[in-house]
Amino acid sequence: MKPKKKVEKIVFQSEKDVPLMPMSLGSMLYNKTGSWRNIRPEIDLAGCIQCGICWKFCPDISIEIENEFPVVNYDYCKGCGICAEECPTKCIAMVEERK
């Protein structure tokens, strides 16, 4: 997704900067939820049949489609394992996170 709103975290320097109308000014993209992960999905594209099921079921919108193949965005993937569980050809493996 191309972010429409600000990506970085917004910090108000003083009360005067706070808008009168409380409305959202930025996205949550500053919050790199990839750090929550213990295990990471690794896609073996040789087995991928381009069904898009991993993309469809990712709760964190962390599977992007590049050149007609799924690519994991490790900045945000929380390692829930749904993609690996649902992949019909089992070409996604959940492996220990290398810290």
CA distance 27 to 52: 25
Residue 41 burial by CB count (10 A; 0-12/13-18/19+): exposed, middle or buried?
buried
Minimum Å gap between C-beta 82 and ligand SF4 is 4
Give the per-residue contact string, 63-82, with other proteins (x = CB under 8 A; - = no). Answer: --x--xxx--x-xx-xxxxx
Sign of CA dihedral 29, 35, 40, 44: positive
- Interface residues with other proteins (CB under 8 A) are 1, 3-5, 9-10, 19, 22-33, 36, 47, 49-52, 55-57, 59-62, 65, 68-70, 73, 75-76, 78-82, 84-86, 89, 94
